[in-house]
């Protein structure tokens, strides 16, 4: 994947996949690498993020990360949160989002995002619902777009997710149903994924 950024200017990376698949970990690693420098090499998009096969480098990206967990409007709000990527995060007038106060189950503060397609910038948007046809279209107004899907075995994903947040157990099945609806819509809308990363 790393070599895909060697000649990019402004780019948005949309990372989707079911709960516990490793979206946040991938986003964090990608941010770490891109905020330093990108080595130029030829490889598959699905190659090892840590692979380095040449000494040629290009300037670092100004990287920002957005987590859909920060603005889903509650446990029943996957679809609404997904729609906010296009309407809010990639808004042409005022890019950003309303944080969700999970403790009080209400809207929190507004968070601004800086989007500038004239400089070497990367916005990483990760979470279930990050990839949709509408989100891709909105993101393209600010530069290139790379759509990533991360997945893994259900039992291991659930173990990872509950290990991170034990209180999630009561919501896991409800959330999984919303995930299924979202993934079905991706198929119905014929959304093409650029990078698929599955682990066992």
Give tens-digit pLDDT for 64-105: 999 999 999 999 999 999 999 999 999 999 999 999 999 999
Q: Per DSSP, what are the bridge partners of residue 98?
A: 110
pLDDT of residue 109: 98
Check whether 54 has a pLDDT greater than 60.
no
Give tens-digit pLDDT for 18-44: 999 999 999 999 999 888 865 544 344
Of 3.40.50, 1.10.10, 3.30.1490, 3.30.420, which CATH number belongs to 2-198? 3.40.50
Give tens-digit pLDDT for 144-173: 999 999 999 999 999 999 999 999 999 999
Q: Any idea where the domains of the chain sit in the sequence? A: 2-198
Query: Is the distance from CB of 49 to CB of 2 less than 8 angstroms?
Result: yes
Give tens-digit pLDDT for 179-197: 999 999 999 999 999 999 9
The DSSP output letter for 139 is: H
Average pLDDT, the chain: 89
Q: What are phi and psi of 163, to 5 degrees?
A: -65, -30
Around Cβ 24, how many Cβ atoms within 10 Å?
A: 17
Alpha-carbon gap, residue 152 to 188, rounded angstroms: 22
């Amino acid at each position: 994947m790393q070599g895909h950024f060697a000649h990019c200017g402004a780019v948005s990376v949309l990372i989707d996949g079911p709960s516990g698949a490793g979206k946040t970990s991938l986003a964090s690693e990608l941010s770490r690498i891109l905020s330093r420098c990108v080595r130029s090499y030829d490889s598959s998009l699905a190659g090892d993020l840590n692979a380095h096969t040449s000494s040629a480098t290009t300037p670092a990206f100004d990287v920002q990360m957005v987590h859909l967990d920060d603005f889903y409007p509650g446990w029943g709000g996957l679809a609404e949160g997904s729609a906010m990527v296009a309407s809010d995060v990639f808004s042409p007038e005022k890019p950003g989002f309303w944080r969700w106060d999970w403790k009080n189950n209400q809207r929190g503060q507004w968070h601004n995002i800086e989007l500038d397609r004239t400089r070497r910038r990367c916005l990483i948007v990760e979470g279930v619902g990050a990839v949709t046809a509408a989100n891709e279209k909105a993101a393209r107004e600010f530069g290139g777009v790379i759509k990533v899907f991360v997945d893994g075995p259900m039992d291991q994903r659930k173990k990872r997710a509950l290990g991170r947040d034990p209180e999630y157990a009561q919501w896991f099945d409800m959330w999984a149903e919303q995930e299924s609806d979202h993934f079905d819509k991706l198929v119905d809308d014929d959304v093409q994924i650029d990078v698929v990363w599955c682990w066992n």
